């Protein structure tokens, strides 16, 4: 096998998971700014692909229109392409894997296991309060839809969190606190502990 060249060096990937309104987006922006990660949102990449009017984008749009789930491979290819184009080697992947099938496919296709999963743990009441007070005019921000999104998150994404938890790879953050307090907790995870340096 020999030594691993830079080209083969696997990028560091961190999955960012949390329910709707858990503050993931805000904290991802902070991590990018302070720690130099590239933030990739699966949803944004799919939306951008649709907007581009490519053949792939049209296929994705039709699937979404028909209420079908976009296949894992499609999302993973977009993520891979974005990773290659970014020129960076450390990534926050946000809102993916959404379920076990996504997770298994990601590892199978990319051969990358995440360094860890950053899980924003936030009680449902707090998420509801935040989303309703956001009032960014997202038409899907009514209480029924929020509860539905939350339940989908619990059913599909929590098994992913549990899988990585069993491997000791989940860093859970109490996301109900203020943005500043949450970022302090995030910083503690991303800042290398000095003790580790001493051999």
Binding residue positions for a ribonucleoside 5'-phosphate: 47, 68-70, 95-98, 138, 149
- List the strands of the sheet with 38-41, edge to edge: 38-41, 90-94, 12-18, 116-121, 170-174
Instruction: Kindly report whether the peptide bond that precedes residue 95 is cis, defined as omega within 30 degrees of 0.
Output: no
Q: Quickly state the pLDDT bin for 158 (edges 50, 70, 90).
A: confident
Binding residue positions: 21-26, 47, 68-70, 95-98, 102, 134, 138, 149, 177
How do residues 47-96 score in pLDDT, each as one tens digit?
Answer: 999 999 999 999 999 998 898 888 999 999 999 999 999 999 999 999 89
Binding residue positions for ATP: 21-26, 134, 177
Which residues pair with residue 17 across a beta bridge?
Answer: 119
Residue 48 is encoded by which pair of tokens?
A: 């951008």
* Domain range summary for the chain, segments of one domain joined by +: 10-188
Binding residue positions for CMP: 102
The string over 60-78, giving b where at least 16 C-beta atoms fall within 10 Å of a residue's C-beta and e elsewhere, is bbeeeeeeeebebebbbbb
Q: Is CATH 3.40.50.300 what the domain over 10-188 is classified as, yes or no?
A: yes
The average pLDDT across 122-139 equals 75
CA dist 117 and 80 (Å) reads 18
How do residues 16-48 score in pLDDT, each as one tens digit?
Answer: 998 878 888 889 999 999 999 999 999 899 999
């Amino acid at each position: 096998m020999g030594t691993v060249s830079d080209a083969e060096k696997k990028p560091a990937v961190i999955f960012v998971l949390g329910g709707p309104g858990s503050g993931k987006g805000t904290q991802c922006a902070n991590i990018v700014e302070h720690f130099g990660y590239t933030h990739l949102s699966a949803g944004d990449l799919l939306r951008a692909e649709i907007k581009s009017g490519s053949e792939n984008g049209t296929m994705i749009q039709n699937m979404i229109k028909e209420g079908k789930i976009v296949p894992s491979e499609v999302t993973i290819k977009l993520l891979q392409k974005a990773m290659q184009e970014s020129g960076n080697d450390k990534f926050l992947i946000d809102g993916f894997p959404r379920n076990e099938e996504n997770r298994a496919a990601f590892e199978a296709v990319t051969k990358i296991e995440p360094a860890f999963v950053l899980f924003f743990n936030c009680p449902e009441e707090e998420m509801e309060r935040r989303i309703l007070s956001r009032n960014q005019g997202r038409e899907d921000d009514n209480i029924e839809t929020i509860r539905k999104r939350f339940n989908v998150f619990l059913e599909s994404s929590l098994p992913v969190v549990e899988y990585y938890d069993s491997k000791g790879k989940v860093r859970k953050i109490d996301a109900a606190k203020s943005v500043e307090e949450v970022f302090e907790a995030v910083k503690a995870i991303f800042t290398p502990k000095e003790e580790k340096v001493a051999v």
